[in-house]
């Protein structure tokens, strides 16, 4: 059996090599992303492993079928960039890694909120300029706040546990409530109810067409004054221009964004010698109370190892058995 993995970073390579050694599968690692020009070269490979940072359109799956690739195994959770219908129509099995480390993302989102609440960026900037005064950057404690968690899947639940550890009051909303959490009475009945009560809103839901720009001008108007927004989920959930307006008029006290709706040409690229073309993103970068990180909430040693090894195992199982527990197009 032969696999080819694209977008392989240096921090992933050792996990690919270790897995290959203990299996009977040959795995070729390529640093570059999978692009349409490379599709003809895929003949002879049973599975393709990628990260969901590009798009996976219909013509890609038609080519997979033509050259004999049976499986697309993505080393992450989200499948919003993949034309799953086209994959199914072409008989290609798509697998993901639904739980490589929910804690990695949950911990990062809490980290970012704490930085906002304690004004660490502002203090760091002051200290760098040898200004060691305190006022006016007095902080807030989590135990005095209500945290509204949107999405109570694995990541949302890990975040809830952490917030509870800090003594925060936690409320949540999910179209598909978790039975255990429901018993605890954590859920409110609507987005509007959560917006009205939460001092902090943290997003832990997938991006669907129905939730595109969920956090837009109308939602922001329903929120408490001085609300904090944390997005480690998907950029498309937030209308960035509405968010910028909310920050500028003081409705939103701070935002931490690890995802951005047009992030693909920016995140995980070194653009220091190039002008930033995206004017909305540039405006975000200039705001003092917005923390931007380049989609790194997932990026821990535990998560990276799991992403690689689970994706490989899923691909192997899908090729040999025609199915696997992490199949997403069935
Ligand atoms: C995901 O797992 O869906 C992520 O957002 C991580 C990223 C590397 C694509």
Cα 49 to ligand 1 centre (Å):
14
Helix residue spans in the chain (DSSP H)? 10-21, 58-67, 84-89, 102-117, 120-128, 154-165, 179-183, 191-197, 217-222, 240-248, 279-285, 301-321
Atom of ligand 1 at shortest range from CA of 234: 5
Task: Report pLDDT digits (tens) over 263-291.
Answer: 999 999 999 999 999 999 999 999 999 99
Going from the Cα of 259 to the center of ligand 1, the distance in angstroms, rounded, reads 10
The mean pLDDT value for 132-159 works out to 98
pTM: 0.94
- Report the distance separating Cα 122 and Cα 156, nearest Å: 28
From 298, 299, 302, the mutation candidate for ligand 1 (largest count of ligand atoms within 8 A of CB) is 298
295 is catalytic: yes
Q: Tell me how far CA of residue 239 lies from CA of 141, 218, 236, in angstroms.
A: 28, 10, 7
Q: Is 154 tagged catalytic?
A: no
* CA distances in angstroms from 260 to 69, 205, 245, 296, 308, listed in the order given: 32, 14, 16, 12, 24
| Nearest protein CA to atom 9 of ligand 1, as residue | 52
Which residues' Cβ are closer than 6 Å to ligand 1? Answer: 51-53, 76-78, 295, 298
The values of phi and psi at residue 113, to 5°, are -65, -45
Place of tokens 């990180």: 293
212 flagged as catalytic: no
Residue where the block lists tokens 């609300």: 227
The CA distance from 237 to 29, in Å, is 33
Which atom of ligand 1 lies at the shortest distance from residue 100's CA? Answer: 2
Average pLDDT rounded to a whole number, residues 296-306: 98
Q: Pick the catalytic residue: 154, 295, 305, 317?
A: 295
**Computed from CA positions of residues 135, 136, 140, 144, in that sequence, does the dihedral angle turn out positive or negative?**
positive
Measured in Å, residue 250 CA sits from the centre of ligand 1 at 31
Report phi then psi at 255, rounded to 5: -140, 145
Catalytic residue among 234, 261, 305, 317: 234
Which residue's entry shows tokens 């697998």? Answer: 95
Q: Which atom of ligand 1 is nearest to the CA of 233?
A: 5
Tell me what pLDDT residue 158 has: 98
Looking at the chain, the whole-number percentage of residues with pLDDT higher than 70 is 100
- Please, are residues 149 and 172 in contact by the beta-carbon 8 Å criterion? yes
pLDDT digits 0-9 by tens, 216-272: 999 999 999 999 999 999 999 999 999 999 999 999 999 999 999 999 999 999 999
Report pLDDT digits (tens) over 158-206.
999 999 999 999 999 999 999 999 999 999 999 999 999 999 999 999 9
Peptide bond into 136 cis (omega under 30): yes
Closest residue to atom 6 of ligand 1, CA basis = 76
CA dist., res. 191 & res. 172, Å (int): 9
The residue nearest atom 7 of ligand 1, judged by CA position, is 76
Half-sphere exposure at residue 236, Cβ-oriented, CA atoms within 13 angstroms? 12
């Amino acid at each position: 059996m032969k696999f080819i993995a694209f977008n392989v970073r240096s921090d992933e390579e050792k996990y690919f090599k270790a897995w290959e050694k203990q299996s009977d599968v040959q795995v070729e690692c390529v640093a570059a992303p999978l692009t349409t020009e490379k599709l003809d070269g895929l003949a002879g490979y049973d599975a393709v492993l990628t990260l969901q940072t590009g798009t996976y359109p219909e013509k890609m799956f038609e080519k997979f079928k033509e050259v004999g690739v049976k499986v697309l195994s993505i080393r992450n959770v989200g499948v919003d960039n993949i034309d799953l219908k086209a994959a199914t129509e072409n008989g290609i099995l798509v697998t993901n890694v639904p739980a490589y480390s929910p804690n990695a993302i949950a911990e990062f989102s809490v980290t970012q909120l704490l930085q906002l609440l304690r004004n660490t960026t502002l203090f760091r900037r002051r200290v760098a300029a040898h200004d060691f005064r305190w006022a006016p950057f007095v902080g807030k404690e989590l135990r005095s706040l209500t945290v509204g968690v949107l999405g109570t899947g694995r990541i949302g639940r890990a975040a809830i546990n952490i917030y509870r550890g800090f003594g925060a009051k936690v409320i949540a909303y999910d179209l598909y409530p978790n039975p255990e959490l429901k018993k605890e009475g954590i859920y409110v009945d609507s987005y509007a109810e959560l917006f009205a009560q939460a001092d902090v809103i943290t997003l832990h839901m997938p991006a669907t067409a129905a939730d595109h720009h969920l956090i837009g001008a109308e939602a922001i108007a329903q929120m408490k004054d001085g609300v904090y927004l944390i997005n480690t989920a998907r950029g498309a959930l937030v209308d960035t221009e509405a968010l910028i307006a909310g920050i500028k008029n003081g409705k939103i006290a701070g935002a931490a964004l690890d995802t951005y709706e047009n992030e693909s040409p920016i995140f995980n690229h070194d653009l220091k010698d190039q002008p930033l073309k995206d004017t909305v993103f540039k405006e975000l970068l200039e705001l003092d109370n917005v923390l931007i990180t380049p989609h790194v909430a997932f990026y821990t040693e535990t998560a990276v190892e799991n992403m690689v090894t689970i994706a490989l195992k899923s691909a192997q199982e899908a090729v040999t058995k025609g199915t696997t527990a992490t199949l997403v197009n069935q």
